Amino acid sequence: MRLLSGPTWMTVSRYVDFAFTSLAIPINLLLLYCIVTKSVKGIGRYKWLMAYFSCQSIFFSILASVTHMSFHTIGGSFMMFTLSNPLHLPPWGIWVLLGGCCVSVGYVLLTLAAQQMDMKRKTYFFGWRMVYFFLAMLIVAVVYGGCGFVGIHLTPEKDFDIRERMAKEYNVSADKIHYVAVEYFTRDANGTRKWNYSSTGTALALNFVFTCMVIVIIYCGCTTYFRTKQGIDKLNDKLKLQRMLFRALLVQTATPTILIFLPCIIFYALPFFEIPLGVDANILSITLVIYPAVDPIGVLFIMKDYRKFIADQFSAYICSPIMRCLCLPRNILGCESVETGSLNDNIALTTRI
């Protein structure tokens, strides 16, 4: 049973894409500004990992908006595709953009995993150890980007069949379908599974890298939770900063779990068992574009210095003078004297009566 038809999914995802990309860019720019200018000294070089994460989220939002990436499954294969070409690129140019989306998703997860790992010792990804981070980025780029090269054993007949089936699902012409795909297996005329080593190996490598990053993020998030509970009664400034960072990372564990991990696991796993997902796989395209807009909000409101900066800006530029008197402490704007004067007037009036 389908949730929505193909054309309806395209319409919904287009509106969601526009709305959340419009939010993600300014929110991440605000977080980036706070990280660079408002971070306390105790956070150290760790802030540069946070800054890189914000930059990567902005890049992914823009790239996803340009490509209008969508998702689909057919039999034992899953694919990312697009029906739009706003830049009027040749087919290979669209393929590069789709491959860039794959790599960008991997980089977002990798950077988040690096942030989680680096909470215990702020030395894992700095200095000469930065080589490890660049090596991990290279692995992600090769595996995720390789999906377009060897992710599917494509023949002209298979390509034509995929395009025709997707064109029928989304009510468009076949020449508007541009996709990159990963294939677990195919079936011959007798219904027997046929395995291709390059495409199957790519699928397994993709699942392995994704699973490793998910395990790191969830494991570090859980250990962060228990460490926070154990130190909750200590009140020194260093621990307060650690607790704020821990809480921010807890939010950064819960948010991708809901918006990325669970949808991706379903998207990757169901084709292996040939459970039809079809056009409903596009729920992943919606959750992926929501994530860059939602994730920074938790960090902005958990980190005290960032939260104070936002509150100050809101009070200074948005609140009216009257509302500002209500929003800020009384002794800052002289509200006490106003209220005291009003109280004295009332007493004098009562006396005269």
- CA–CA separation, 276 vs 278, rounded Å? 6
DSSP 1: -
Extract the tokens encoding 243. Answer: 């607790």
- Write down the pLDDT at residue 9: 96
- CA–CA separation, 56 vs 299, rounded Å? 16
Extract the tokens encoding 40. Answer: 């306390």
Residue type, 344: N
Domain ranges of the chain: 6-314, 319-352
- Write down the pLDDT at residue 118: 60
- CA–CA separation, 139 vs 133, rounded Å? 10
Per run of 10 residues, the mean pLDDT along the chain (length 353 residues) is: 91 95 95 90 75 88 90 93 86 83 79 67 63 80 78 86 94 92 88 85 88 83 68 55 74 86 92 91 95 91 89 76 54 45 43 43
- CA–CA separation, 118 vs 246, rounded Å? 11
- Write down the pLDDT at residue 27: 96
Residue type, 219: Y
DSSP states along 202-265: HHHHHHHHHHHHHHHHHHHHHHHHHHHHHTTT---HHHHHHHHHHHHHHHHHHHHIIIIIHHHH
8 Å CB contact between 239 and 229? no
- Write down the pLDDT at residue 17: 94
CATH superfamily of 6-314: Rhodopsin 7-helix transmembrane proteins (1.20.1070.10)
Phi-psi region of 203 (alpha: psi -120 to 50; beta: other; left: phi over 0): alpha
CA dihedral 110, 228, 258, 44 (to 10 degrees): -30
DSSP β-ladder status, 70-74 and 77-82: antiparallel
In a 13 Å sphere around the CA of 15, the CA atoms on its Cβ side amount to 5
Closest CA to 101 of 179, 202, 25: 179
